[in-house]
Structure 1
């Protein structure tokens, strides 16, 4: 089965329904008015989690008015089509049901999923970039959470993401290559992935990572889609590629096990519980199901 381009469709962590409104981040007068407006809504985020409210068929973020929000670093997330501003505040969560992206994203609509991904990504960056990399001075938050400035040397620092390639490899016998890392439990497997190195193209990273991790040479990597993965700050860039060789020689520091699977073998192993696939929130799951030809029902489905 040939995998066509552009079949990943909307990815759960790549959704959004607001304008990020970058031009307003430095407008102090507008920010002050927005924070005072009753219609403004605030999302609390703490260590990657927020409060949610569950319904029969999904969930929604618990959003509050600015007057109800606790003190804490404040990030502008944007404005929706109705002119409602959204902010995130980094602060401990009050009592309620707390959830992170891995559990909540499949339950949230486009607006709420986009807001939570954005807030979690900003929080993670700020938590690890509190000091100037040049002189070590504690930096100050500006631009409504989208820049930190060193008060000593004046250097400006902006949120960064780490690009990572994630690739589904298939061979001429129409088998898929799955693997697991040493820290993963028995049976939990996924496609291969790795960070892009300095001075490297995405396509070269695909070829290099597969060869390094399992000893397989691949050809013709094709881009399929991307989504943020703020654990803590990655951007996952999905590819498919065809194997030119099939002998598996895993690098056991990174790969505990790797195997080729036909659709029939994958189905049987999933149904028996021998194999567990990545969760629905991941681009890995979508790549596998695109190759498979449809949804796969398992414990995480």
Structure 2
């Protein structure tokens, strides 16, 4: 039960024509913070409590999210910035995202091609493309907005009665009108792991749906009743036939494609013979640190916005073992 190493689920792999937002990049070894990890400049504490009128009579900044999960972006002096629609009131159908500096933020689903009144938009872009280059406030809001829009799109009917749900609490609850049961947003835990030989080699794999030459680390969903560490061992055994030990946690990353939370690990292989399950991945190979540093290994690696790339970079730099 694998997920692509960037973190999205098999059912949500974009078609080939939609994968242009994964820039080709073969250089590794930079030690950076995990993109989107704890990157938030807004207050989400309100979401654990009963929500009052989120706007309270103040203007609201609204992020428009279209069906491709892209949002309006402009090129600022320090890099890309999200473009918000400034509204006097909380929008109908809006999803409350939180506050920053006293300003309320919301997300609204919108058709493609809709403009932002009075604002300059240079392009519409997705989280994979610009998430790693955004400031903390924009990055946190975009990850939250995409996750919540995905949840609403996929949960329009009650899992109990099949009745169409009604949206309450500024987008954070869907209620079954027949049973009265509240349905809350869900997050699917997944593991993503770099498997190494205890020395200078690691295993990278590729899926057939990826562009030619792209490799990444292994990944998969956590199953019911299973710990994250057990999921690491099971997925590695299923995908490449290796037993692992020394499973060590690195970091986590929200990955709303559609609603995953990626838990990153490194693990040491017991043995080096790869037995690839071709139902899971197309190919797997051992690569050395030198190959990754020199750019003589895979033709392409995961994008900088992904935790997969963060773990590869840290391992290649010698920070993880």
Q: Name the TM-score class by shorter chain.
A: 0.7 to 0.9
CA displacement at 1:164 relative to structure 2: 0.4
Please point out which of 46, 52, 69 is paired with 2:66. 46
> Structure 1: where are the runs of 5+ without partners?
1-6, 296-301
Aligned pairs for 1:53-132 (under 5 A) are 53-67=74-88, 72-80=92-100, 82-93=101-112, 94-95=114-115, 96=121, 97-132=123-158
> Structure 2: where are the runs of 5+ without partners?
1-29, 116-120
Aligned pairs for 1:136-147 (under 5 A) are 136-147=162-173
Instruction: Point out the more displaced range, 88-97 or 47-56.
Output: 88-97
Instruction: Point out the more displaced range, 283-292 or 59-68.
Output: 59-68
Please point out which of 9, 31, 36 is paired with 1:13. 36
How many aligned residue pairs are there? 281
State whether structure 2 residue 217 is matched by structure 1 residue 194. Answer: no
TM-score normalised by L of structure 1: 0.87
Partner of 2:245: 219
Q: Does the CA-based 8 Å contact 2:63-2:106 persist in structure 1? A: yes
TM-score normalised by L of structure 2: 0.82
CA displacement at 1:57 relative to structure 2: 3.4
Q: State the SS of the aligned residue for 2:36.
A: helix
Q: Does the CA-based 8 Å contact 1:8-1:287 persist in structure 2? A: no
CA displacement at 1:86 relative to structure 2: 1.2
The whole-number CA distance in structure 1 between the counterparts of 2:47 and 2:204 is 44
CA displacement at 1:68 relative to structure 2: 8.8
The whole-number CA distance in structure 1 between the counterparts of 2:81 and 2:47 is 28
Q: Does the CA-based 8 Å contact 2:293-2:316 persist in structure 1? A: no
The whole-number CA distance in structure 1 between the counterparts of 2:54 and 2:284 is 52
Instruction: Point out the more displaced range, 256-265 or 211-220.
Output: 256-265
Gap change, CA 1:227 and 1:143, over 3 Å in 2: same
Gap change, CA 1:294 and 1:279, over 3 Å in 2: farther
- Higher RCO (CA-CA < 8 Å; seq separation 6+): 2
CA displacement at 1:262 relative to structure 2: 1.1
Q: Map Cα deviations across residues 199-229 of structure 1 (whole Å, 9 max, x no partner).
A: 0000000000000000011002111100100
Q: Does the CA-based 8 Å contact 1:138-1:150 persist in structure 2? A: yes
Q: Does the CA-based 8 Å contact 1:25-1:143 persist in structure 2? A: no
Instruction: Point out the more displaced range, 194-203 or 138-147.
Output: 138-147
Partner of 2:300: 276
Q: State the SS of the aligned residue for 1:276.
A: coil
Instruction: Point out the more displaced range, 109-118 or 96-105.
Output: 96-105
CA displacement at 1:266 relative to structure 2: 2.8
CA displacement at 1:185 relative to structure 2: 2.6
Q: Does the CA-based 8 Å contact 1:182-1:254 persist in structure 2? A: no
Q: State the SS of the aligned residue for 1:117.
A: helix
The whole-number CA distance in structure 2 between the counterparts of 1:107 and 1:266 is 23
